[in-house]
Structure 1
Amino acid sequence: MNSINKYITGFVLSALMLFSTSCSEFLDVNEDPNNPVVVSEPLLLTGIIANFTYQILAGYPVRVTSTWVQQQSYNGALPHYGIYRVDENDVNNTWTYYSYSNAMQNCKILSEIATTNELYDYAGIAKIIWAWNMSIVTDLYGNAPFSEAWNPDMYPRPAYDTQESIYASLQTMLDDAIADIDRTDGLSTYVVGEDDFVYGGNMTKWKKLAYLLKARFYMRLSYAPGFNAVTQADLALAATANSFASNTDNATYEYLDEAGQENPWYQYAIDGKWSTDQQMSDKFISDLLIRNDPRIYALAGFDGDGEFSGHENGVDGDTDKSPIGEYYSAADAAVIMASYPEVKFIEAEAHLIKGDLPAAQTAYSAAVRASFDELSDEIDKKSADDDNLSGASTDVDAYLTANETLRSPLNIAYNQVMNQKYIAMFTQFEVYNDWRRTKIPSLSAAQNANISSMTEPATRFPYPSAELNYNSENVNAQGVPVGFNAVTSKVWWNTAPENCTLCNN
């Protein structure tokens, strides 16, 4: 993304906020006389991508769940979300404004006007992001409005769709997006270009991203009630065959070291104007050091003593711990939206589910090496600054020799794959989904958990206050407790490890 495009991000964020709802009620987004009736496809696309990346992919949902899976730790004064103290007011913006309004409502509008104007590539991208955001909503909250969500006749009480039906609809939406991208009968003189901050109009890569999401969603249901893991693995492998082929296909969003244009992790975890309480978890740092994993130089920064040290999850104490690494949190760092290592880890897991250890080995080796390739420059740069106090290893070959070979039996190999995926996908929401789906790595509840009986991290978000206020009959029918206790409920597909024989060591 060139600098001109990046400089208009702030404008677009403001413009799209205005284009979304101005009312407090959930989903009052269908007709608003204070908002423009027609917005061009390029402006809509730019704003959708900017908002979705900043508010969702690198926003509150990931900051919270990264602490819950103990990659990061929140060091603010107790109580806070790091000990699972999250209620309906805390999650309202993620649902009401950032997802249903700023992202998905505008995706719906873009899809419709682009189809009317025969600009099918825009429609395809809109459907990809729409499906992606809806998957995050249902993964966080469970059953949710979808089929009636944007129908003005249903406002403000749209019915709730089941997760199972939502996931079927998401696959259909991605198939429609791929079909839109493949169309050749639209207008060829007005194509996606610099208004696309992810791929610069490269529709082949958008199509590969759609297939990655399809594979991800198939694997999400691998242990869901009524689903067959081998069938889901076959579907995932068919999708990955059309997805990312190398790290050059990675979906990223770049930021600038300019006021108001900085990377969101920088703004929320590094820049003292906001907070420096989001730090690395002691568990994650310890695991990396025990493994002699050179990626620690990219994943984490040095503490005040020039070492790598994490903050214990759930403890209010020393603030002088390792921050998130500059590869992810520098002011001008790119946000990694989706990456090639995930494709290969999906393949490795799918092959293990099918009992094919050799095929899993091939995919697993490619995944681990792709993770190192992605971070190699940052590892070299940061390790050169090390004054030897950190005790971290820089020997990539030794690490690969020790960790690249899958071991028998299959459940041990499966644990290797999921643990390596946990490391490689740092700062991505999918880590939380994988942990809930497989319970790998093994995690205990943070210290001082808000609910003393909790033995593991929180497993969902509560339903938001807007729904409880304006759509109470439908939301109450879901059977999820109101308030802090909601975080101990499970979403429909979260059945591990009971339904996953490979998940047990």
Structure 2
Amino acid sequence: MKNQKIVGITLAAAVALSTFSCNRDKFLDVNTSPNSPAVVTMPLLFTSTVVYSGFVATNDLGRAAALFVQHKAGTGNQMADYDRYNIRGSFDNQWNLELYGGTLINSQTLIDLAATKSSPAYGGIAKLLKAYNFSIATDLYGDVPYSQALKGRENQHPRYDKQEDIYKGNSALGIQSLIDLVKEGLADLDKPSTLKPGTTDDPVYGKTANNIAQWKKMGNMLLLKFANTISKKEPALATSLINQAAAGAFTSNADDFEVPFGSASGNQNPLYSFNYVNRPLDQMLSQRLLDSMRVVNDPRLPIYFTPTPTPTATVNPTGTVTTLPGPLVNGVPTPTFLTFTGYQNGGTASGLTIPAIGNRSRYNIYIRGNSGEAPARLLTNFQRLFILAESALTLPGVTVAGTAQSLYQDAIRASMTKTGITDAAVTAYFAANPNVATLRGTTEQKRNQIITQKWIAWVGNGIEAYNDYRRTGYPKLAPVLNPAGDDGILPQRFALPLSELTANAGAEGQDVNIRTSVPVWWATK
């Protein structure tokens, strides 16, 4: 593992990684001391760490996850391989540079620097960011270097900690849990601080009246996310954590933890850079998601994805063209009809016709921005409401306001209004689709409804939808055409990069041939 002190990565530098390949190591091979004012300041390091967190979630790891959960389908190059579960030998840069050599080392460096400056406001937020990004690493890979990582030359071969210990802690091994790391960060935010992030260096909450209060909400939202992640494996711990954190978490869409990007080249959201600049031919809307949204006339479809020209000839025999009525007005579709074109996951290996780029439904402005300025949406109010709805349904000891039914509808409403759909249109949508609006059947059938709607809400953040799918098995996804990869099934974890297995002696206990079909700890029954 690379353990250099990599610091001060600005927005432009972070986003520029999406276009680097062979030169990435040289680009980030920095060994100067982070404590030197000539190298980095807390504000610069803070901004870069926040922005890099959004970059990690929307770059290659997020793109692959979006294919696995069939938000998108791969139509060329690596995306076509990932779509069929061929992921071995991939993501070295994401592991070495974006996670361990990016967000994680930056977070730790900021924690250390804040301690020398008597500024726990910076250090506390850095702990929240460190916990968030370590959760990405362990959720995707399982056991990872954690308690001994980020120590530079002090330990260049860190031990792999068990995922259970990463989430729950292990005092005998000196492992602080992610949960306790977040709580420690929240406690820091209550302490007097010589310096605090503000309007000039806080890209997420800097414009709010009290950005520290907003970061506290983010921390409690992170605890809800962790509780939900481990809820099937550790229901008692999850229940306790939800009861502690729910009241302090988000209360509206305005609280969302979303990282802004810009429209200038090098500052753009990776979902724009990849899909509209660097590799516009490699991905498009999945037919599975299209069918799921079309059947109920979901008004988010034309907000998430671009319509395509109405076909003038026979529809492609793969059935990829779907026509959707226009937006609902007082519960009645408008006369305008929109056509969307999806693609079957794994279809490239079957020789299915790939539509020309002008006839593909691709991410629309809400997801990628006009020129890349759409934010990366990492933790959201609708996520909170879906978590509480599922918890009210499945965890008897949870004491939160609302029922599973009311929280479920509130979650869908929060997702829709976030995209710009009016309250009246959401109400009309519920009236027109009672099978969506009302939870029905057994507990598992109701959970399926909740997670399916959460899956739709998470378009643009494939990692969160991938976590939910592995934890619950919902939504029910059809197998891709011509699956490959390990055992021909949807990966339950990412394969460790070969560079890590060969460079880190601490990885000796990690089987180089561990099957990607083996579930991670919190997903095992």
Normalising to structure 1: TM-score of the pair? 0.83
Give 1:93's aligned residue.
Answer: 93
1:253 matched to 2:259 = yes
CA distance in 1, matches of 2:261, 2:119: 28
1:41 corresponds in structure 2 to 42
Whole-angstrom CA distance in 1 between matches of 2:523 and 2:512:
15
Superimposed CA distance per residue, residues 84-125 of structure 1 (whole angstroms, 9 cap, x where no aligned partner): 11113x111111111111111111111111122121111111
The letter for the 1-side match of 2:476 is S
How many aligned residue pairs are there? Answer: 457
2:295 alignment counterpart: 290
Q: Contact 2:61–2:94 at 8 Å: present in 1 too?
A: yes
Work out whether 1:409 is the aligned partner of 2:442.
yes
Amino acid at match of 1:313: N
Other structure's SS at 2:161 match: coil
Give the structure 1 partner of residue 404 of structure 2: 360
Partner Cα separation in structure 1 for residue 130 and residue 202 of structure 2: 15
Matched position secondary structure for 1:307: strand
What amino acid maps onto 2:375 in structure 1? Answer: A
Map Cα deviations across residues 233-273 of structure 1 (whole Å, 9 max, x no partner).
342243122100011101222233322222221111123x4
Deviation, structure 1 residue 426 = 1.5
Contact (CA 8 Å) 2:15, 2:269: kept in 1 or not? no
SS state of the match for residue 80, structure 1? helix
Q: 1:394 to 1:59 in 2, by over 3 A?
A: farther
Match of 2:185, as an amino acid? A
Instruction: Name the residue aligned to 2:186.
Output: 178
* Amino acid of the structure 2 residue aligned with 1:292: N
> Do the aligned partners of 1:444 and 1:457 also contact (CA within 8 Å) in 2?
no
| 2:385 corresponds to which of 344, 347, 352 | 344
Match of 2:354 among 307, 315, 318: 318
Contact 1:230 1:353 in 2 (8 A): no
* Map of 2:519 onto structure 1: 490
Letter of the structure 2 residue corresponding to residue 32 of structure 1: N
Instruction: Give the match for residue 430 of structure 1.
Output: 464
Gaps of 5+ in 2: 1-9, 18-22, 169-176, 311-337
User: In structure 2, how many angstroms separate the alpha carbons of the residues matched to 1:297 and 1:290?
Assistant: 14
1:418-497 aligned within 5 A:
418-428=451-461, 429-451=463-485, 453-454=487-488, 456-472=489-505, 474-479=506-511, 481=513, 486-495=515-524
The 2-side partners of 1:258 and 1:23 are apart by 24
Distance 1:33 1:375, change over 3 A: closer
Give the equivalent residue in structure 2 for 1:155: 155
Structure 1 residue 414, shift from structure 2 partner: 1.5
Q: CA deviation at 1:328?
A: 0.3
TM-superposed deviation, 1:480: 5.2
Structure 1 residue 379, shift from structure 2 partner: 12
Question: What residue in structure 2 maps to residue 277 of structure 1?
Answer: 282
Q: Do 1:208 and 1:243's aligned partners in 2 also have CA atoms closer than 8 Å?
A: yes
Provide the identity percentage.
28
* In structure 2, C-alpha distance between the alignment counterparts of 1:152 and 1:334, rounded to whole Å: 32
1:199 and 2:205 are equivalent in the alignment: yes
Shift of 1:478: 2.7
The equivalent residue for 2:326 is none
| C-alpha separation in 1, matches of 2:60 and 2:446 | 33
Give the Cα–Cα distance (whole angstroms) in 2 for the partners of residues 91 and 196 of structure 1: 29
Contact kept in structure 2, 1:215 and 1:237, CA below 8 Å: no
Deviation at 1:397, TM superposition (A): 4.5
Name the SS for the 2:73 alignment partner: strand
CA distance in 2, matches of 1:177, 1:471: 29
Code of the aligned partner of 2:184: D
**2:232 — aligned with what?**
223
2:413 maps to a residue whose letter is: R
CA, structure 1 residues 99+378, in 2 after alignment: closer, same or farther (shift >3 Å)? farther
Say if 1:407 and 1:413, in contact at 8 Å, map to a contact too. Answer: yes
Task: State the alpha-carbon separation in 2 of the partners of residues 453 and 146 from structure 1.
Answer: 29
For 1:307, the equivalent position in structure 2 comes to: 339
1:130-187 per-residue CA deviation (whole Å, 9 max, x = no partner) reads 111101101111111111112345533111111011113111110011011111x222
Give the superposition deviation at 1:442: 1.3
In structure 2, how many angstroms separate the alpha carbons of the residues matched to 1:33 and 1:116? Answer: 17
